[in-house]
Structures are given as C-alpha cells and as structure tokens.
Structure 1
Amino acid sequence: MKTTVNVLLRDDLRTFAGYQSARAASLQGEVWLNANESAWANAADDDARLRRYPQPQPQALRECMAQLYAVAPEQLLIGRGSDEAIDLLVRAFCAPGQGRIVIATPVFGMYAVCAKLHGASIIDVPLVDSDAGLCADVPAMGDAALTQNATLLFLCSPGNPSGELLSLEAIATLAQRLRGRCMVVVDEAYLEYADAPSATALLSGHDNIAVLRTLSKAHALAAARVGCVIGSRELIDALRRCQAPYPVPQPVAAAALAALAPQALASTTSRIGTVREARQQLQAGLLHLPVVRRVYASAGNFLLVRFVDTDAAFAALLAAGVVVRDMRAMPQLGDALRITVGTQEECSRVLAALEAVREVAA
C-alpha cells in the first residue's frame, strides 16, 4: 500500500536527488579541499570556525531537538524557522501553478504567502466567531480539501491570532478522512504555552500528518531562526531533497544547542509558567476596561482583543511606547489588536495606557 507522501509528492520530484553539497558525503580526512573554502580564517573569526561550511543537518542539534519533541532524529528536519518548513511543504506537494492548499483565516500569513509565490491556489474556510471563540471548522476544512483536491491543509494550534487549541481527536479524525488525499500540517509554534500534548503523538497512526515546531517563541531564539518539520522518515527525506544546502549556520547551531541544555531548559520551563500566569492576569485586566469589547481565550503567549474604538486604543498604546500587532487588515478582525504577553511591568503599561482611553470609549 502506498503511503500518502508517496501518492501526493510531485511526480517530477520522485527521483529528484536535490543538490549534493560537499558536506553531504560522509568522507573523512585531515586536509579538506573539496568545497573551495578559504585556506585561512577571516581576521574577525576569533575561533576560526566560520571558514568551513556547516553540516547540512547538524547531528548534535538534530538529536537534541528530536529528544525535546520525543521523536526519532530521522523524523525531524531542521530549517530556517517554521517559515522554511512551510515553503518546503508547498514546494514538495504543490505542482507549480496547479497545487491547492486549505487554510482557515484569519491565520498566520506565511501559509498563503508561500502558496502565492509558488502559484498554488488558496482555499479559505474562515474561522467561525462564536461564544466558544474564533474557531476552525475542521470538518468543513476536510470537505474543502476533498472536493477541491487540495494536497496540503494547514492547521494552527494554538491558532495565531485566534489562540484556539485544537484537540488531538479532531486532528486525528481529519487526518483519517484525508489519508491518501491530503497532508495535514499542524503548526505548533505556540504549543509550549498551552501545556497540551503534541500532534506528534499521532504520527505512528497517520502517515499524512506533519508537525511544525520552532525555537523562536518559548525558547526565545527568534533571531536565530531555528525551526523544524516533524513527520515520517519518507516525508523528511523528500523535504530534505527540496531544501537549499547549509540551512543552519554553525554559530546558530551552537546557540540552539546551548539553549536546549538542561539548565537553559529549566529556565525556559519556569518562564513559560510565568507567561501563563501573566496571560490570565492580563486577560482579566483587559476585560474590566470600557474600551475593550472582547478578549478571546488564548493558549498562546498573546491575546486577541476587540475594541470599541480601535484607533484610540492603538494610538494610546503607541503614545505610551507600547507596540502591538494591528490586526485590522485581516478578515473578520476590523476592530482587533493582538497583544503579546510580556513581563509584569509591560503588561501593567498596556493596561495603564488603555485605561486612559476610558473617556473616549464612553
């Protein structure tokens, strides 16, 4: 029986080997003259490590991230944040100018951007705004994928900007419906803040699930650009062949390894707990402000907030030196801002600035 990856992978990529870099071959030696590198280090390179190309997939970091996410190293491909993983998936499973993806807006914009740049069609099944929150209609997304022959369906859990956390049961049911027809990509960039199980737990039973993780958010490495896609070994092999050589610079790999050391991980865990408490306090504080119309429950490190007077709220925050994300250009969010949960002092500054909008809202 063919796997979903084998069925859906672009025909022209089935025998495509990709670029074979000088570091891809498992060769041993003392004098390295196979990559046309400089024989001398740059004067600014104090430890003389930068003149050599890095490993395409740094083995130590790959093993460390695999342990972090409780998967085998062969199930994980490191890239330049989750953004590169999204791009690789679109390239691998959407024929240029012909492919289709399913998304649920408002959602993280890179799914649509990558599809647009590749010439793939975007099938939007909008989030449903209800008392329960701004929620994905997962069955309807599955219907759209089947009826319009989409090969990729993107779920964001926790949702950005909705904050919605999807259940593993809903994801598993969807993946079962779409097996052999469509890949289900679960973006878990904010999962650490949800204290919930990962969709990686579903990989053994569903060959059409791919999971995106990143070190940018909870692990505070946004500038390093380290993320990964997790899935079957067959999926990882296919995506690796589509990836440009040397995606992880050596200094970045070293920084990521240091950030995943036991002491650093303990600090990260503590700060995640602090964010969860601050999120609850910020939500409670916002709900008492006259200028606030609605605050959505969130499993991420942010809150989506609707305002009575969004212009006044945004201006007041800027006047107080606080920069938040203006969501008004996104579908359904014409009165909304997204506020990251910062330190206690930063959250207090947000509340104080919005408290000053009391008279305008009245």
Structure 2
Amino acid sequence: MSAALPRPAIDAVLALLRPDLQAFAGYSSARSAALNGEVWLNANELAWANPADAAGTSRRYPEPQPSGLRAALADLYEVAPEQVLVGRGSDEAIDLLVRAFCRPGIDAVLATPPVFGMYAVSARLQGAPLLEVPLIETEAGLMVDIDAVIRSARDNAARLVFLCSPSNPAGSEIALADVVRTAQALQGQAVVVVDEAYIEFSSQASAATLLTGHDNVAVLRTLSKAHALAAARVGTLLAAAPLIAALRRCQAPYPVPTPCAELALAALQPAALAQTRARVAEVCQQRSALAQSLAALPGVRRVYPSAGNYLLVRFDDAQAAFEALLAAGVVVRDQRAAPQLYDALRISIGSADDNQRVLAALSARSAAA
C-alpha cells in the first residue's frame, strides 16, 4: 500500500491546480457531513418508495464516494483508500483533471495519437491547447516517443500529459521507467496521467506502484474492460491523497448510483475476482491465437502486438474487410479516420466462436477477391 508523500511534494503538485480552484470548497451535499439519525429530513427526499422500487433502496441519495467500494478498489489496486477517487468511468476523471488543472487558452493537454479520443475532447471543451506527439512506427509496434513528449510538454506549457498504456488502439505499452523519466522531467510543471484501462490484459506492473515516490503521477483504472462492467460506469483515479481531495471538490455531488456501486462491490469479491482473472487469461490466449491466424490471411498487411483485449490490423483494403465483417454480422472499430491508421481496423477479442466468425468472414472475402 502506498505511503504518504512528503509535504513539499504535495504542495508542489497542488500548486499546479488552477489558481482559482486551489482554495475552492466545492458543493457540500446533504450526504457530505458525517451525521447519524433515524429520521432523515435533510436532503428533500420523498418519504415513500417509488412503486418500481419495492425495496425502497433508491429513494435516498447515494454516498458521494461509496466507502465499501472505495476500500475494495484500494485493496484491488494496492493503494490507500484516500488515494482513490471513484467516478463515472475513466471519462469523468479525465474531464475532472482537465477542468481542475487547465486554464482555458493557457495550460495545455498533451496526448499521443492515435489514441483514446477523450483526452482531446476534454481539452477542447475546456478551451485548453492540445499538444499531439504522434506514436512512431517501429518493429515493436506503434510506440510513444518519450523524448518528444518531454520536449513538447516543456516547450508548450503542458499541464497534463496523458500516457495510455496499453495504448488504445495501438496495443503498445510504456515502460514504467519511461513514466518515471517523464514525471521527473516535468516535476513542478505537469501531472503525468497513465491511463491503464487495459492493464489487466498486460503482464506489466501498474504505474500505481509509482505513486509513493512521484507526486505528479496519477493513474486511471476502470471496471469496464476486464471486469465486464461497462454499463455500470465505474472508473477510478489513483493519485496522492491531497490531489484526490482537491478533485473531489470539483466533482458532481453523487457520481456513482447506488445500484452501480453495489454491483461493482459484488464484482470485487474473491469468487468474482477469480472468475475475472480466469477470463482475462482466456482473452490473452485467444488474442495470441487470433493474431497468428489474422497474420496468415491474404490481404492483411500487419497485425500489431497488443497488450490489450483487441488487435490493431492493417489491410490492403480495409473498406472491403470492414464490409465483409459487417455482412457476417461482426462489428469492429473502423480506425481509418485516426492519424496514421488510414488502412486499419481494431478488432476486440471475443469468445473463441466470435473470433472464428471473424476469421471465416475475412477468409471468405479473400477467397472471393
């Protein structure tokens, strides 16, 4: 479990917050105060349950940060509960970070395209300058150019640097040593945010292990992918406790609905976690088999190595491949509008039957061509 950072380090990272938010108290909801009672008349809730809610469990506002879920997530990610912010998927955490750290027109957000589009969307909505350092094509795959990231961030007033590892859609990883190097180079200037939405499908250790010694590192995690709870919208930001407290003051009062929190907590019990680990292992096995089979098909230019639950694939004719899959009832992600990916599709790893359907559709297209 991560230890507390020294006070000077905490002061340094909090100084990166927007000046007008550094003393911001936020909204104090009816559930913010730790009060005890038997008759609750402080939140303007109805005294009777909705007819659709026989148990009456939904008439009360939820905990702003569900304590049981927060503790379970802290245990899962091996950090302290006060280092955990729970929200509506990773998307909310990204938006909170951009709004809290970036002054419109002044403080920049850096991303590494082709990559998850919400970094750019959040920057645009905040009016923050967007810096893009493209991934570079290598024998190992589409990789982050860490030296270029550091140079661009230093030269262009970056306040947030988003490093996606495993990268979506490229599937490539960023070594923890490179995360450390980036954080050290940008100490006192920027927060380095490592998006680990797909880390469960990787053999690499989490950047959460870096929180103790690096005050300007934050980590995004989610239950949407490996834990199969995409509809529950439960994501987590891991960071130094004072930074989490500051972001909590900027967050909406009740970010996690009670049914979603209860579902997530149930999914984090030992038996459910054991099943999740088994399914992750199966996905990794299927990923390897599908990659090998795709690479052998005519018309496939390249299958990129992947540490996620998907494969990025280049085709001689991506449009024909996309249409052939769709005709077979298989929907994949068309990546051709993304930088550098004019001929690429991203294929999520499904069940063995799903993956065979992909191969059959593409094989039939090749035979007909």
* TM-score normalised according to structure 1 size: 0.98
1:97-116 mapped onto 2 (5 Å cutoff): 97-116=105-124
Shift of 1:311: 1.1
Q: Distance in 2 between matches of 1:295 and 1:193?
A: 17
1:223 matched to 2:225: no
- Aligned mate of 2:264, from 256, 275, 289: 256
1:31-70 mapped onto 2 (5 Å cutoff): 31-70=39-78
Q: Is the 8 A contact 2:106 2:157 kept in 1?
A: no
Q: Distance in 2 between matches of 1:166 and 1:14?
A: 31
1:133 matched to 2:152: no
- The match for 2:240 is 232
| Secondary structure at 1:145 match in 2 | helix
Shift of 1:165: 1.1
Q: Distance in 2 between matches of 1:18 and 1:297?
A: 44
| Secondary structure at 1:212 match in 2 | strand
Q: Distance in 1 between matches of 2:245 and 2:42?
A: 24
Shift of 1:78: 0.0
- Aligned mate of 1:28, from 12, 28, 36: 36
Q: Distance in 2 between matches of 1:248 and 1:341?
A: 28
1:147 matched to 2:179: no
Tell me which amino acid in the other structure corresponds to 2:154. Answer: L
- The match for 1:156 is 164
Shift of 1:195: 2.2
- Aligned mate of 1:170, from 171, 178, 197: 178
1:189 matched to 2:197: yes
1:302 matched to 2:327: no
Q: Distance in 2 between matches of 1:207 and 1:22?
A: 32
Q: Is the 8 A contact 1:276 1:301 kept in 2?
A: yes
Q: Is the 8 A contact 2:194 2:207 kept in 1?
A: yes
Q: Distance in 1 between matches of 2:62 and 2:145?
A: 43
Moved over 4 A (4+): none
What 5-or-longer segments of structure 1 have no aligned partner? Answer: none
Higher mean C-alpha displacement, 43-52 vs 183-192 = 43-52
Tell me which amino acid in the other structure corresponds to 1:122. Answer: L
Q: Distance in 1 between matches of 2:295 and 2:308?
A: 18
Q: Distance in 2 between matches of 1:106 and 1:269?
A: 29
Q: Distance in 1 between matches of 2:177 and 2:54?
A: 52
- The match for 1:350 is 358
- The match for 1:75 is 83
Q: Is the 8 A contact 2:15 2:22 kept in 1?
A: no
Shift of 1:359: 4.1
Q: Distance in 2 between matches of 1:7 and 1:20?
A: 23
Tell me which amino acid in the other structure corresponds to 2:110. Answer: V
- Aligned mate of 1:289, from 297, 308, 316: 297
Tell me which amino acid in the other structure corresponds to 2:244. Answer: I
- Aligned mate of 2:96, from 79, 88, 108: 88
Q: Distance in 1 between matches of 2:95 and 2:154?
A: 22
Q: Distance in 2 between matches of 1:179 and 1:115?
A: 21
Q: Distance in 1 between matches of 2:342 and 2:254?
A: 41
- The match for 1:270 is 278
| Secondary structure at 2:301 match in 1 | strand
Q: Distance in 2 between matches of 1:239 and 1:42?
A: 33
- The match for 2:212 is 204
Q: Is the 8 A contact 1:4 1:183 kept in 2?
A: no
Tell me which amino acid in the other structure corresponds to 2:22. Answer: R
1:9 matched to 2:24: no
Q: Is the 8 A contact 1:216 1:223 kept in 2?
A: yes
- RMSD over equivalenced CA pairs, Å: 0.9
Q: Is the 8 A contact 1:99 1:119 kept in 2?
A: no
The C-alpha deviation readout for 1:106-139, integer Å capped at 9, x for no partner, is 0000000000011011000100012121011011
| Secondary structure at 2:263 match in 1 | helix
Q: Is the 8 A contact 2:94 2:119 kept in 1?
A: yes
Tell me which amino acid in the other structure corresponds to 2:348. Answer: T
The C-alpha deviation readout for 1:181-236, integer Å capped at 9, x for no partner, is 11000000000000220001111110000000000000000000000100001110
Q: Distance in 2 between matches of 1:148 and 1:165?
A: 25
Q: Is the 8 A contact 2:318 2:344 kept in 1?
A: yes
| Secondary structure at 1:357 match in 2 | helix
Q: Is the 8 A contact 2:87 2:93 kept in 1?
A: yes
- The match for 2:287 is 279
Q: Percent identity between the aligned chains?
A: 60
The C-alpha deviation readout for 1:143-195, integer Å capped at 9, x for no partner, is 11111111000000000001011111111111111111110000000000002
Q: Distance in 2 between matches of 1:219 and 1:6?
A: 32
